[in-house]
A and B are shown apart, each in its own frame.
Chain A
Amino acid sequence: MTPSTRPIAEPVAGACGRVELNITSTPHSLPVVRAAVERMARTEGFSETDAHALTWAIDEALSNVIRHGYQNQPNQPITVSLEAVRAADGRTGLSVIIRDMGRQVDLESIQSRDLDEIRPGGLGVHVIRSIMDEVEYSCPPEGGMKLKMLKYPVRPSDPSSPVPRKES
């Protein structure tokens, strides 16, 4: 998506303001981040289903940073920034920025794999792209990777939602 076609999303004064989590590259950080993200999403008005989906996508992104960016090396820095944003059409969502100082990878190589091929591994990018409304990877000149994502809650009538609604 080019910058000219990207929907404009401005920060809004959400209930939580801006939340920044500084963690290290250990899988044991992941449940802590999941709990914080889910709580923030619920506080900002996401349904339980949407909050879970957002949490899952962020979790997959962090797993990829640990596994591929830092190649499972522990104690490396990762910052997760969360902020409520409002799109031009009035929808309120959450902006997520994940910043690491790990190995930079070719942006073209970050792709979903063919799901018809039944094998372990390689599902994370598919999950992220299926759930999030916007996904943008970049390689900052200072090093590492930056992942910007946006998620808007799914409207109850939206049939394009990739995440099944919970039965009530």
Chain B
Amino acid sequence: MSTEPSGPVRSISRVGSATVAELMGEIDMRCAPELREAMSRIVAERPKVLALNMGGVNYIDSTGLGTLVYVLRQVGGYRGRMALFGLSPTVRGAFEITKLLSVFEIRETLEEIAK
């Protein structure tokens, strides 16, 4: 199964033990299916640590948030670890208003995840 970047997933890399997926742009109901598909391909390889770089995301709606919840459950299903980093204040606010800040592991930098 290919893990080429596609849609809102702009790059996939390995940093230490972590697989890092860089998300970009506006994540809404328009591109959420693409995100789900791309993330499913990554999760199929069962990375021990999946780090999502949210630094390039300037908007996320509830469909996008729901997609991330779906990915989190997939990763949790095989006892992997998923963490997000680089959230802008606006995107962080979206997690806060939907009470998802405590559901996800959210860090400032990749170094805090992949150390």
User: A residues near B, CB below 8 A?
Assistant: 27-28, 30-31, 34, 49, 52-53, 56, 59-60, 63, 66-67, 115-116, 118-121, 123-124, 126-127, 130-131, 162-164, 166-167
Contact = CB atoms under 8 A, between A and B. Distances in A.
Contacts of B62: 60, 63, 123-124, 126-127
Interface stretch (B15-23, B39-47, B78-86, B95-103): B95-103
Which label, helix, strand, loop or mixed, suits the secondary structure of the B interface?
helix
A18 B105 CA distance: 43
A30 B28 contact: yes
B108 to A, nearest CB: 13
Interface residues of B, number: 24
Contacts of A121: 66
Given A60-B61, A166-B90, A119 B28 contact: no
Given A131-B97, A162-B97, A59 B69 contact: no
A164 B92 contact: yes
24 contacts: A27-B30, A30-B28, A30-B29, A31-B28, A31-B30, A49-B93, A59-B28, A60-B62, A63-B29, A63-B62, A115-B99, A118-B103, A119-B66, A119-B73, A120-B70, A123-B62, A124-B61, A126-B62, A127-B62, A127-B98, A164-B89, A164-B92, A166-B89, A166-B90
Contact of B61 (A49, A56, A167): A56
A108 B89 CA distance: 34
A155 B92 CA distance: 20
